[in-house]
Amino acid sequence: MTFKYSVTLPITGSHKLGRFRSWAEAHLPEVAYSLPYQTPIKTETMTVRLRSLDDRKRILETYAQNPLS
């Protein structure tokens, strides 16, 4: 299966990839995703690739309740 869908999340600061991985593991361990290889520190968003629209919906709902810190 490929990662056909995406969601762009607001996230600032350094270590975006590691922070997202930790957040996803704590809140959505069953969701499969693909992250970019790197993100510049200056960016304020990050795009996450997903396998289904249901995964996108779950991430957005969970993010609204438990935003990344």
3-class secondary-structure state, position 42: coil
Alpha-carbon Rg for the chain in angstroms: 11
Cα 50 to the chain's mean position, in Å? 9
- What's the CATH code of the domain at 26? 3.30.1370
Number of independent structural domains in the chain:
1
Query: If you ran DSSP here, which 8-state letter would residue 54 be given?
Result: H
* Whether residue 16 has pLDDT greater than 70: yes
Residue-wise pLDDT for 21-69, tens only, equals 999 999 999 999 999 999 998 999 999 999 999 999 999 999 999 998 7
Owning domain of residue 34: 5-65
Rounded Cα–Cα distance for residues 30 and 24 (Å): 9
Tokens 């809140």 locate to 27
